[in-house]
Amino acid sequence: MSDTQVIPAAMEAVARPARRSEWRSAYLGTPGNALVTLVCGALILLLAKAAFGWLFLNAVFDGGSDACKQSSGACWPFLTDKLRYMLFGFYPFEEQWRPLVALVLFLGACGVSMVPRVWGRGLLIAWAVVILPGLYVLMAGGILGLTAVPTSKWGGLPLSFMLSFVGLAFALPLGIGLALARASHLPAIRVLGIGFIELVRGVPLISILFMAAVMLPLFMPDGVTIDKLLRAQVAIILFAAAYIAEIVRGGLQDVPSGQFEAGRALGLHYWQVMFKIILPQALKKVIPALVSLFIAFFQDTTLVTIIGLLDFLDTVRTALRDPDWQGIAVLEGYVFAAAVYFLFSALMGVYSRFLERHFNTSYR
């Protein structure tokens, strides 16, 4: 254990020169270093100047698509005209405060849940009983005087968040269960676990979505349809679970088997050993891998466009096809989408590093 902690500390010392003299020698120490620094600095300046010019100096701030056609800069009117559509898709215009409130509440709840002090069973129950059902009611309506909005009209950013975050929230326990099944000593359970994981991992997400969207309804009795969004959500949960299972399995294998045996020797039940001894260590080790997967899934949900759901990137793409703006604001649309995806992906990355530090100190 002690070895593994010395190495990161040493690496950190190398990566972060502490004093000013070290900075100077790192960047300007030799003629070669100085040259690289100068070239990179000039490039950064040039890029910043071009970006500033595009975003502000040459940009069009009001007017229509014709003004944008003439200008070489960014086209802000496109973003302001299309913002609500890009964020909320086909959700009825007068009711769009609902997805907005849902989005803010969801992000707020996520922010609060990130603080280690509030972790506990109560938080889990709050999510399961209050937050998720509450958000669903807010979006779907039909009671409490809210007009009903069918899921076929949901779209944009709320849909992206729902598919990826709710998907991963359900996939995580399922994935852990699958990882335990795969490591089980009971052959039947192990074979089932391996079978499921390999089957799902051996098939691209697109085909699973297709199965859910195209094949499944044909197997249903006539007249019975399961909501398309629910089908896509379940497909994403199953797919993510298989990948999470393999990541968790890596963590499980890293915990010496002596710990499991010691737990059993103390008279603890299998589940007690797993939940109190093995999993806390295993999960801690796989945080970086899990977060990478989460970020990837946040972006992969864009694939749902092939089964006729419009997530955030797709609402941006379809906004670009509006004849008024076609071929005029392509860059603006994609830059906007990239900025939003980058923001949330970067937040997840920052939080992952925070978690790693947090666990390192508390278990030292």
Partner 1 sequence: MKRKFLALCAATAALMVGATAAQSATTLETVKARGKLICGVSLSTPGFAAADDKGRMQGFDADICRAIAAAVFGDADKVDFVLTNINTRFQALQSGEIDVLSRQTTATFSREASLGIDFGPTVFYDGQGLLVPKSLGVASAKELTDAAICTLPGTTTSQNLTDFFRTVGGKFELVVLESPDENRAAFYSGRCEAISSDRSDLASIRAVANNPDDYVLLPETISKEPLAPAVRQNDSNWRDIVSWSVYMLMAAEEKGITQANVDEMAKREDPEIQRMLGGADELGKMLGLDSKWGYNIIKGVGNYAEVFDRNLGEKTKLGMTRGPNTQWNAGGLLYAPPVR
Read off the tokens for 158. Answer: 């709320």
Using rule CB under 8 A, residue 190 touches partner 1 = no
Which of 186, 198, 308, 363 contacts partner 1 by CB under 8 A?
A: 308
Q: What is the DSSP string of 174-234?
A: HHHHHHHHHT-SSHHHHHHHHHHHHHHHTS-HHHHHHIIIIIHHHHSPTT----HHHHHHH
Angle between helix 97-113 and 76-88 (nearest 10):
80
Query: Which residue type does 265 have?
Result: A
Q: Which stretch binds partner 1 (CB under 8 A): 131-139, 181-189, 262-270, 303-311?
A: 303-311
Read off the tokens for 361. Answer: 């100190």
For 156, phi then psi, to 5°, come to: 75, -150
Using rule CB under 8 A, residue 330 touches partner 1 = yes
Which of 59, 171, 181, 320 contacts partner 1 by CB under 8 A?
A: 320
Which of 327, 338, 342, 354 contacts partner 1 by CB under 8 A?
A: 327
Which of 224, 265, 357, 361 contacts partner 1 by CB under 8 A?
A: 224
Residues in contact with partner 1, counted by CB under 8 A, come to a total of 46
Handedness of CA 253, 255, 258, 264 (dihedral sign): negative
Minimum distance from residue 339 beta carbon to partner 1 (Å) = 19
Using rule CB under 8 A, residue 170 touches partner 1 = no
Q: Which stretch binds partner 1 (CB under 8 A): 1-9, 147-155, 178-186, 265-273?
A: 147-155
Minimum distance from residue 87 beta carbon to partner 1 (Å) = 10
* Integer CA distances (angstroms), 164 to 71, 97, 167, 289, in order: 38, 22, 5, 16
Using rule CB under 8 A, residue 234 touches partner 1 = no
Q: Which stretch binds partner 1 (CB under 8 A): 36-44, 207-215, 295-303, 337-345?
A: 207-215
Using rule CB under 8 A, residue 85 touches partner 1 = yes
Which of 27, 127, 210, 341 contacts partner 1 by CB under 8 A?
A: 210
Looking at the chain, list the stretches that DSSP marks H as alpha helix, in order from N- to C-terminal side: 2-15, 20-28, 31-52, 65-70, 76-88, 97-113, 121-125, 132-140, 157-161, 167-182, 187-201, 205-210, 216-219, 228-254, 257-265, 270-273, 279-285, 287-300, 312-320, 330-362
Minimum distance from residue 199 beta carbon to partner 1 (Å) = 22
| Contacting positions for partner 1 (CB under 8 A) | 69, 81-82, 84-85, 88-93, 96, 150, 152-153, 210, 213-214, 217-218, 220-225, 228, 305-310, 314, 317-324, 326-328, 330
